[in-house]
Amino acid sequence: MCSVLSISAGTQLYTGYHVISDQHIATAHEDINRALTTLPDKLSILDSLIISRQQEVQLVDTLNYLFPPQQYNHASLLFADSTPLIRIDNNRDITNVPQWFQSLIKIPEHHEKRIINNDDFDVGILELSASSRWAYTKYWQLFSNTLISHLLLMLTGGCAIYLISKKHFTSLRKLTTRAYNIDNLNQAPLALPDESDIKTIVRAFNKLSYQLDVNFKSQANEAVKLREQAYLDPISGLGNRSFFIHQISSWLDESHKGGLALIQTTLISDYYEQEGYQAGDKLIKQIAARLNDVISYNYTTIARLSRDEFAILIPNLSSEKLELLGKMVLKIFDDIVNNSKLVSPSTTDIGLVYIEAQISPSQLLTQLDNALTQAKLTPHKSIALIKDPNSHSSLGKQQWKQLLEQAINEDLFQYKFQPATLEDKSVYHYEVFTAIQKNKNFFSAGQFLGAIEDLKIGSWFDRHVIVTIVNRLNADRTIGPFAINITNSSIGDPSFTRWLDQLLSNNTQIASRLFFELQEISCIRNTDATSLLCSIIKRYHFGVGIDNYGRHFQSLNYLKEINPDYVKIDYAYTYQLNDQTKSTVLSSICRTAHSLDIKAIATRVETETQLERLSDLFVSGYQGFITEKYTQLETV
């Protein structure tokens, strides 16, 4: 429409220019022709040597009448021999037309010279210059009217087109928005519009979105099934021996403080023999359910190692609580025995190991077997506890609380930053590791995080760390990005959520340089609170990550709701990659994240061989000792 109106306006102005120019010249010709019929009689009676004042005035009046000053800049009469007779000059500026228009449009004056003849005798010469003042005035009026009329037409037409096609634009906007967010799953189908052509496209979009959602669920389910086949006991639903050993290795590298329990019972064999296989399988499921209900500590790993053996790993647990846990577990089996109809009595023995110092997995498993042997030698108790002989005296709750208070008040925290590196060797972020340095005593996060969770003061600790890192980012624009771990107790604290909302809203300028990492267990056990916290973080465009990705056997569908920027793969999957089963599971869970455009970062990568193997398994980046070769760790 704009093009058509522009062409129409241009054509009208072009034609008008030539018409007005021609009319300007034609008017001058008419005036000259009229003058040639009037002036011969007046000039023939004049004497070229003597002309009276009265005759001069009459000629001036005649010329002004024939050639109005408004239209002619110059008019003059000469005798036939070119002797000057009368000259009139009327130079006037064009005041009713803008100067810029006169500079843009050129309409020249019209000059003409005619011989005045009377009865075949030349009696004089007429010279004149027709002013372009009239032509400029006419053309300016035409230009203004044309421009205004076409602008009004354009505006009216645009409004009409907008009103007519508003409904179409609404449907197209919805389609455009859905196209930008086509990879966001779980979206409601678009409503079908009235327009038949757009309706076909909307149907195609809805079908594509549905298919993407189906494909993701299929991938997630495949990953779960592969993990279950590799690491899950099919009857109890608990982790198997391989899974438990991997979790021990991971825990020892992280913290090496806490407790383990090894449970051996004759109850299951007795059930299989006396009640049959169906009853035996049902009993195993009952035991697993009771263990999951009773043991509610964070990061707990419960596994079935063999037909009659179960094992429990609880990081950061005190020896007193470990003994209490053993009694609770023993009571579970005693209750089942008392409610059963078995003929022969069944026995249950529990070996407990508590450690605080560094120890190898093989040494730990040996101590666990020794503890179980001791339990069998004391049938009146059925529980035996072995404390790590190399462990140091453990701080109590109040001592940990006092230490943390002092660390915050006196700023005794030290921070180490470990890079997470992408495939192109660029640093994606630096994960913040916190420690406490008091005099000559050094306490790593693995030592005091358990106490923090136990005391429910994670929010208190997290606020201090977050404020410290935020202040550092504001003070120096060249550092970062940093990734801060959030404790589980903070996620369930509404006051922490409100506090973080306010803090992030006031520091959006550092959003691109700060990530927040949450544990996978929080996404599974505290889904609503985790989703709320992540939505607040994303509202201000800060980054979100999930740590210990794939550790738990629940569905990976939480990824769709949380939609993190990255996940950090649990060490159990990145250790011993020569195991084909483990590699297959790792590839599957990474592919699930990859389908949502989520970066999968492998943790504790230590060797070039391990790095090369990971590059073939949908892993986007890596973190661990290998990155320290490329980037110097910073300690503050």
Handedness of CA 12, 17, 20, 26 (dihedral sign): negative
pLDDT exceeds cutoff 60 at 633: no
pTM (predicted TM-score): 0.60
Measured CA distances, 193 to 188, 190, 203 (Å): 15, 9, 10
Tokens matching residue 259: 């407790």
Give rounded-to-5 percent helix, strand, coil for the chain: 55, 20, 25
Distance CA 636, CA 631 (A): 16
Nearest CA to 603 among 479, 419, 417? 419
Place of tokens 């000469």: 78
DSSP 8-state assignment for residue 544:
E
Sign of CA dihedral 469, 470, 471, 472: positive
pLDDT for the residue numbered 186: 53
Q: E-strand spans in 209-315?
A: 258-265, 301-304, 309-315
**Listed ranges 402-416, 430-444, 530-544, 612-626; the one with the highest mean pLDDT:** 530-544
| Per-residue pLDDT tens digits for 135-155 | 888 888 888 888 888 888 888
Which residue in 208, 213, 205, 327 sits closest to 261, CA to CA?
327
- Measured CA distances, 131 to 29, 69, 328, 337 (Å): 13, 9, 115, 123
Give the pLDDT confidence of 514-531 residue by residue, as tens digits: 999 998 888 887 888 999
Q: Which two tokens stand for residue 20?
A: 């007005």
pLDDT (tens digit per residue) in 167-225 = 556 666 666 665 655 555 555 566 666 555 566 666 776 666 666 666 666 666 676 67
Q: Is 373 helix (H, G, I), strand (E, B) or coil?
A: helix
pLDDT digits (tens, 9 = 90+) for 27-74: 888 888 888 887 887 777 666 556 778 877 888 888 888 888 878 888
Amino acid at 553: F
Tell me the pLDDT tens digit for each residue of 428-444: 999 999 988 888 888 87
Instruction: Give yes or no for a contact between 209 and 199, defined as CB atoms under 8 angstroms apart.
Output: no
Judge: domain 397-635, CATH 3.30.499.10.
no
Architecture of the domain spanning 2-149: 2-Layer Sandwich (3.30)
The 8-class DSSP code of residue 513 comes to: G
CATH number assigned to the domain covering 232-387 = 3.30.70.270
Extents of the domains making up the chain: 2-149, 232-387, 397-635
Q: How buried is 86 (Cβ within 10 angstroms: 0-12 exposed, 13-18 middle, 19+ buried)?
A: middle
Mean pLDDT to the nearest integer, 260-279: 89
Residue 404: is its pLDDT beyond 60?
yes
Q: Is 362:377 a contact under the CB 8 Å cutoff?
A: no
* Long-range CB contacts (within 8 A, 24+) of 47-55: 48/79, 48/81, 48/83, 51/85
